[in-house]
Amino acid sequence: MRRSTIAVAAALVWAVAAVVPAAAVAPIRQDVDRSGSAVLTDVCAFPITVEFTQSGTDTLFFNQSGALTRIQGHIVEQDVFTANGKTLHGLPYKFNVTVLFDKQTGEIAHVYAKGVISRVPLPGGDVFLTAGRLDFLAHPGPSFLVQPDVGAQGDVAAFCAALAP
């Protein structure tokens, strides 16, 4: 009985090893530190400059051929908004971002963020807070967004009033 069990186990190990690709590419994890700025022209009746800093981790996933298929990021971001001589300092917030690549072309097919989208204390004690899911490719113009497509929408009127002339 013991010999047959060992033989069956050996056959199963060999069968599984034959199915697993020999050249599978392991995911790559990398720390990220990014910063940048953008001018928001579609949030308020006046332009707003935002400066942002991000830190976190990106994990890159590949198929058996070595082509990049997905990037999964776990990010902490902090924003500073300025307009009309006024400044709002956002609080750090966390979100996950997923970048999916088209299997045929290798081009970016989707970019989704989930989590907090913006977190900014306003004068008077209120907080402009938005959270949910954001599909960046559904908004081809803006490079920076403060409201999710689905989820908690912040009080844009209060946000704009805090930066108004």
The residue among 16, 35, 15 whose CA lies nearest residue 80 is 35
Q: Is residue 15 scored above 50 in pLDDT?
A: no
Q: Is residue 94 scored above 90 in pLDDT?
A: yes
- Count of alpha carbons within 13 angstroms of residue 10, beta-carbon side: 6
d(CA 109, CA 69): 10
More confident residue, 152 or 7: 152
Residue 25: what pLDDT?
85
More confident residue, 7 or 94: 94
User: Which is it for strands 127-135 and 150-152: parallel, antiparallel or unpaired?
Assistant: antiparallel
Residue 23: what pLDDT?
54
Give the E-state strand segments of the chain in sequence order. Answer: 28-40, 48-62, 68-83, 86-89, 93-101, 108-121, 127-135, 150-152
Q: What confidence tier does 7 reach under pLDDT thresholds 50, 70, 90?
A: very low
Residue 16: what pLDDT?
38
Residue 54: what pLDDT?
96
**Average pLDDT value over all residues in the chain:** 86
Residue 65: what pLDDT?
87
For the entire predicted model, the pTM comes to 0.79
Taken in order 52, 39, 116, 44, the sign of the CA dihedral is positive
Q: Is residue 111 scored above 70 in pLDDT?
A: yes
> How far, in whole angstroms, is CA 123 from its chain's centroid?
28
Q: Provide the residue type at 153 as one letter.
A: Q
Residue 91: what pLDDT?
97
pLDDT tens, 49-71? 999 999 999 999 999 888 999 99
Instruction: Tell me if 81 sits within 8 A of 120, measured CB to CB.
Output: yes
d(CA 42, CA 142): 8
Give the residue-averaged pLDDT of 145-161: 92
